[in-house]
Amino acid sequence: MKKTTQFRNLLSSNKLEFIMEAHNGLSAKIVEEAGFKGIWGSGLSISAALGVRDNNEASWTQVLDVLEFMTDATSIPILLDGDTGYGNFNNMRRLVQKLEQRDVAAVCIEDKLFPKTNSFIGGESQPLADVAEFCGKIKAAKDTQLDPDFSVVARLEAFIAGWGLDEALRRADAYHEAGADAILCHSKKADSSDIDAFMKEWGDRCPVVIVPTKYYSTPTDHFRSQGISMAIWANHNMRAAIKVMQDTTKRIYEEESLINIEGNVVSVAEVFRIQGADELKDAEKKYLPTTGKKVNNIILAASQGNLGELTKDSPKTLVEVNGKSLLSTQIDEYNQVGIKDITVVRGFGKEKVKMNNIKTIDNDDYAETKELYSLNLAKDEIKENTIISYGDIIFKKYVLNELLNDNNDITMIVDADSKKSDGTKDLVKASKKYNKKNFIGTAKFKKMDSNLDKKVCGEFIGLWKVNSTGAEIVKTALTKLSESKNFKKMTCTDLFNEIAKENTIAVKYISGAWLDVDTLVDLQEAGKLRI
C-alpha cells in the first residue's frame, strides 16, 4: 500500500492512532521496528540532530535530505513537521512537489510567521499568520499534490499564542474549508483543557491530531473518549538519545575506560542489524561474482617501460593517470569486487613498488626476461580462481565483472575492435568472430601472434582468469616451457599457444573499454578513459 494511503487510513481510522518522532534514518527504522504505523518528522528533533535551533536555521532542502534517508529506510508513512511551509504559497507548492518525489506521505504546517520559533519558547509573544494568507498556503498545497492521498495537516497555534477558544475555532474552520485534511490542535498547558474545549465544539468535522508533550499525564483513554484521531509522541527519541549520550560521554571522559559502559549500550552487531548488514550479505551472494570464492590476483609489473623521463627511475606501472598510478588503479578495481589477495611481480625500481595491501615477488632478471618468466616466478600463486593481468593496463569496471562471471577453465579478454597488426599487439584468432547482433557466449582460442592474417578476431588486452582446473593446465605448460633454452624471452603468447595444443581457452570479447600504456600518446588517451 502506498505510504500516502497508509497515512490517510490512519487519519480516517475509527480509533485513536499513534505516530512516533524520528529524526534520521536510524531512528526511523527503530520507530517502525517498535510497531508504530507512522513517523513524525519532527522539526525540533531534526534541527537538534543537525546541531541548530528550531528556528528554520536548517534550510528546507537540508530537512529534505534527512527525510530522504528516513523514507528510504522505512515502509511506513512520514508526516513532516513542515513549520510554516518555509515561506509563502509558492514555497509551499515546491515543498509539496519535493515531498511527493521523496515518498513522504503528509506535511503539517503551522499558522505562524516565517521564520518560525518553537511553540514552547515564548509562545504567547509569537504572532500568528493572517488567516487568509495561511488558507492560501493550504490551497496551494492541495492544488499542487499529484497523489490524491497526500495529506496536508493544518497546525492550530491559537492556544499557544494565548488566544481563546473562539479564535481557535475560527481559524480551524477556515483551514478546514481551505482543504486541510486534518487539524492539529496544539496546547502548552499541563492538562488537556484546551483540547477538551476544542473537541467539544469541533465535533467530527475533520480529523483532529494532538501533541500531548506538555499534558503527558492525561490518560490516553481520555483522548479516545474525546474522538481524537491521532496522537503524536513528538520529540522523545531525541530527548532520550541526548540523555544517554550525555551520560555515556561524561562517564567515558571521567573514567578513561569503556569497562563500565559496554554493558549498557547495544552491541556493534545490533547496529549492523538495524543497518541491514544481513541483507547486504545476501545481495553480495547474488550480485558479486567473487562472493563465496577464493579469488586472487597476479599483476605482472616487472618491466621498466619506455616513456622517457616518466620511466627513467620508476617502472611503467607507477605512471600516473588522472592522479593515480596504473598499479593503484588496478588494485582499487580488484578491491572493489572483493579481491584482496593481490601479488605484484616487480622488477625495475622494485623498491618503489610497495603498498600495504599487496604481496610482492621480485624478478631481478627483469632486464633479460619477458612477462612469462615473471609469471613462472609467481606460479605458486596460480590457484583455484586467479585473475592475471599486465601492470600497464587500465579497463572499465564491467570488463572485470565479465571475466569474473565466466566459468570456463581458462578465459582471456579480447578486444574485438582492435584487429590491425602493427608488430606489437597480441592479436588473436578464434573459432568465431564477434558480432554485436547475434554473438552470444564465448569463442574458442586458436592462435595468438603479433602478425596474423585477415582472420584475426581481436587483441588480447592482458587480462585473463583460470579456475582450479585451468590453474593446473597453466602450471603444467609453464613447467614444460621453462625447460626451453629461450624461456627467458618467452611471452604469454607462447604460453597460450602451447596450452591450445591440447586444451581449450575461452575468448570473451569486449568492444574497447580498455587501454595499455606503451607510449606517451597512450598515456594521453588513458586520461580520457573513464574507469
List the catalytic residues. 54
- Plot region of 10 (φ>0 → left; ψ -120 to 50 → alpha; else → beta): alpha
| Cell numbers found for residue 450 | 603479433
Tell me the C-alpha distance between 8 and 157, whole Å: 23
Instruction: Spell out the SS3 assignment of 101-134.
Output: HCCCCEEEEECECCCCCCCCCCHHHCCECCHHHH
Q: Are 164 and 17 in contact (CB under 8 A)?
A: no
Tell me the C-alpha distance between 379 and 475, whole Å: 7
| Cell numbers found for residue 397 | 569496471
Tell me the C-alpha distance between 142 and 155, whole Å: 15
Tell me the C-alpha distance between 491 and 310, whole Å: 24
| Cell numbers found for residue 39 | 513517523
| Cell numbers found for residue 214 | 506538555
CA 214 vs CA 161, 223, 373: distances in Å? 15, 14, 80
- What are 432's strand-pairing partners? none
Nearest to 49 by CA among 74, 73, 26: 26
Rounded to 10°, the helix 193-202/165-178 angle is 50
Q: Are 209 and 184 in contact (CB under 8 A)?
A: yes
Tell me the C-alpha distance between 137 and 522, whole Å: 60
Ranges of beta strands (E only) in 248-358 are 296-301, 320-321, 324-325, 341-346
Q: Is 67 exposed, middle or buried (0-12, 13-18, 19+ CB in 10 A)?
A: buried
Tell me the C-alpha distance between 210 and 234, whole Å: 10
Tell me the C-alpha distance between 257 and 160, whole Å: 46
Using the CB atoms, write b or e for 137-150: b if 16+ within 10 Å: bbbbbbebbebebb
